[in-house]
Amino acid sequence: MDGKKTGVWITGASSGIGRAAAIEFARVGANVCATSRRASELQRLNSELNQEKLGVNIYPCNIASAANVDQTVKKIFAENQIDCLINNAGVTSFKKAESNSIQEINDIINTNLLGSIYAIKYILPHMIEQGSGTIINILSIVTKKTFTHSSAYAASKMGLLGYTNSLREEVRKYNIRIINVVPGATDTSMWSSEVRKNNTDKMMKPEDIARLIVWLYLQKGNMVTEEIMVRPITGDLD
């Protein structure tokens, strides 16, 4: 591997589940490559990790731009050998379909669906060449249950579910694992501050999801958890 460190690439690592996953992977000794549009938040993450004498590699990236993803992957692979991609970057809009603007719909589809596909497309040749790899996609409970005020978000996540389920069958022969994580309501900035304040005790913590992701990645041998759904014990938010 030409002296390169094997690592984990996490998209959307500046907040929420992605940020928690970056911290958890760093704590277990992984070489973390963290990407996000908000480079300042990645710097803040590193400042916090430095207190534990840990850190991550920072690569600013707009996941919704195929050209930007291509450039970022080239930068990452110039210094690292990536064994795992975690597709986490995501945005949403809690509006009725009739109220969503075209720009909002484009942002959601381009980030959640196309952005994840871009990341997979540019990293897949490297995984095929090395004969192994893990791709973990952070989906959503909307792929299992119908919610109102989530049409564009549901379309993006269900599209990624279909894409990766098909991909899984194509890449088994290359020893590449495709894992879909389907979480229910999680206490992240995707929700409004009011919803988080009123429902924090009914929501899962990003840190718990992050520990699950690390556990899924560390599974080795001939067993793979292809899909796992986790929800708050109190059920879904209304």
pLDDT tens readout for residues 38-48: 899 999 999 99
Q: What is the average pLDDT value for the chain, to the nearest integer?
A: 94
Nearest alpha carbon to residue 56 among 31, 38, 85, 93:
31
Q: What pLDDT shows up at residue 107?
A: 96
Concatenating the DSSP letter of every residue in the chain gives -TTPEEEEEEESTTSHHHHHHHHHHHHTT-EEEEEES-HHHHHHHHHHHHTTT---EEEE--TT-HHHHHHHHHHHHHHEEEEEEEE-------S-GGG--HHHHHHHIIIIIIHHHHHHHHHHHHHHHHT-EEEEEE--GGGTS--TT-HHHHHHHHHHHHHHHHHHHHHGGGTEEEEEEEE--B-STTS-HHHHHHHGGGSB-HHHHHHHHHHHHH--TT----EEEE--TT----
Rounded CA-CA distance 155/158 in Å is 5
Tell me the two tokens of residue 210: 């992050």
Q: What pLDDT shows up at residue 73?
A: 97
Q: What pLDDT shows up at residue 5?
A: 77
Segment 50-65 mean pLDDT:
96
Domain spans in the chain, listed from the N-terminal domain onward: 5-230
Tell me the two tokens of residue 205: 């913590």
Segment 118-138 mean pLDDT:
97
Lowest mean pLDDT among 154-163, 169-178, 220-229: 220-229
pLDDT at position 238 over 80: no
pLDDT at position 139 over 90: yes
Confidence of residue 219 (pLDDT cuts 50, 70, 90): very high
Considering the segment(s) 5-230 as one domain, its CATH architecture is: 3-Layer(aba) Sandwich (3.40)
Q: What is the pTM of this model?
A: 0.94
Rounded CA-CA distance 52/147 in Å is 40
Segment 143-170 mean pLDDT:
96
Segment 17-25 mean pLDDT:
97
Lowest mean pLDDT among 67-81, 143-157, 180-194: 180-194
Highest mean pLDDT, choosing among 145-149, 175-179, 182-186, 202-206: 175-179
Q: What pLDDT shows up at residue 1?
A: 45
Of residues 194 and 101, which shows the higher confidence score?
A: 101
